[in-house]
């Protein structure tokens, strides 16, 4: 143990007295107590206790600032060109939607309109609708006789004989005792009444001008008669043309039975030779020489 020299203790007391701190025997004794030697103090082998963990909730660590987004890639040239191209205004869309209609109308204006038949041929086409169920829409036949491919012209070389048969029908021919109708010298033999179906009487159901009209349709549209051919040109102009005199006479009130006696003239003013149709069935006529 090392003792503190007396002069050092005295200096300490004087200094305390100068400062007004004073001192007593106990204090001096404590001061005179020799300090423990460091070697006498046992070394502390344990480490300091760790600080207590905070009792409250641990705060979250502030998130760092997001990384800046990379700059956008430039558009390819074709995309940039499309974006810079002028756009169609909305008001033009309605006009564009009508373009198909305009196109259709334009094409129609350039397309030649189908020929509309007038006169006996035009009216006869409509009337024939009630005949097609027996004779076929194209005159090919069926329940009734064939008219296409010239068959009707072989049976009736004269239009008057066909008008008479259509007007009276099969039953009236049979009642009158007429065995055949049309051309008695027809190739393959004459057509006999009742040998092929029953031709209904059209007189009274159709007007006389409607009967002429449907007969013209059967001869020139279905039968194939050529209105410009020498053997048919006169018949066509007098009976089936748009301004045919006989058709005009029937429209004016003349009957089929009266035509031969009416003195109907052609477009040149010459009398038309007409085989009398009469008021009852009659034998057909052979072709003219």
Output the pLDDT for position 161: 97
Ordered structural domains, the chain, with CATH: 119-224 (1.10.760.10)
Handedness of CA 262, 268, 273, 276 (dihedral sign): negative
Contacts of 284 (CB under 8 A, 6+ apart): 156, 158, 161, 165, 180, 181, 182, 183, 184, 190
Please spell the DSSP secondary structure of 143-197, one letter per residue: SSPP-TTTHHHHH-SSHHHHHHHHHHHHHHHHHTT--EES-TT-TT-PEETTSSS
What pTM value is reported for the model?
0.62
Q: Of 151 and 78, which is predicted with more confidence?
A: 151
Alpha-carbon Rg of the chain, whole angstroms? 65
Q: Which residue spans within the chain are E strands per DSSP?
A: 180-181, 191-192
Q: What is the pLDDT of residues 49-68, one digit of tens each?
A: 455 555 555 555 666 677 78
pLDDT band of residue 127 (cuts 50, 70, 90) is: very high
CB-based contact 236:120 (threshold 8 Å):
no
Cα 281 to the center of its chain, rounded Å: 55
Q: What is the mean pLDDT of residues 159-173?
A: 97
Distance, CA of 272 to CA of 263 (rounded, Å): 7
159: closest CA among 123, 211, 230? 211
Q: What is the pLDDT of residues 227-256, one digit of tens each?
A: 999 999 999 999 999 999 999 999 999 999
């Amino acid at each position: 143990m090392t003792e503190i020299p007396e002069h050092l203790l005295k200096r300490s007391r004087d200094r305390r007295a100068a400062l007004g701190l004073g001192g007593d025997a106990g204090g001096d004794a404590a001061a005179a107590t020799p300090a423990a030697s460091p070697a006498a103090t046992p070394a502390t082998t344990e480490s300091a206790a760790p600080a207590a963990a905070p009792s409250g909730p641990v705060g979250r660590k502030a998130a760092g600032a997001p990384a800046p987004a990379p700059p956008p890639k430039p558009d390819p040239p074709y995309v940039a060109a499309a974006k810079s191209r002028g756009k169609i205004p909305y008001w033009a869309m309605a006009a564009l939607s009508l373009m198909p209609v305009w196109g259709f109308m334009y094409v129609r204006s350039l397309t030649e309109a189908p020929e509309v038949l007038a006169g006996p041929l035009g009216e006869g086409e409509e009337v024939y609708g009630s005949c097609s169920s027996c004779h076929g829409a194209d005159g090919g036949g069926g329940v009734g006789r064939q008219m296409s491919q010239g068959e009707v012209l072989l049976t009736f070389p004269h239009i008057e004989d066909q008008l008479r048969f259509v007007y009276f029908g099969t039953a009236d021919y049979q009642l009158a005792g007429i065995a055949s109708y049309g051309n008695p010298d027809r190739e393959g033999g004459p057509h006999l009444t009742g040998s092929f179906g029953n031709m209904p009487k059209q007189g009274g159901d159709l007007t006389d001008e409607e009967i002429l009209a449907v007969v013209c349709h059967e001869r020139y549209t279905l039968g194939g008669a050529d209105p410009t051919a020498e053997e048919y040109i006169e018949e066509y102009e007098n009976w089936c043309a748009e301004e045919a005199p006989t058709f005009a006479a029937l429209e004016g009130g003349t009957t089929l039975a009266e035509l031969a006696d009416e003195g109907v003239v052609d477009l040149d003013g010459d009398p038309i030779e007409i085989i009398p149709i009469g008021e009852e069935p009659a034998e057909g006529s052979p072709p003219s020489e």
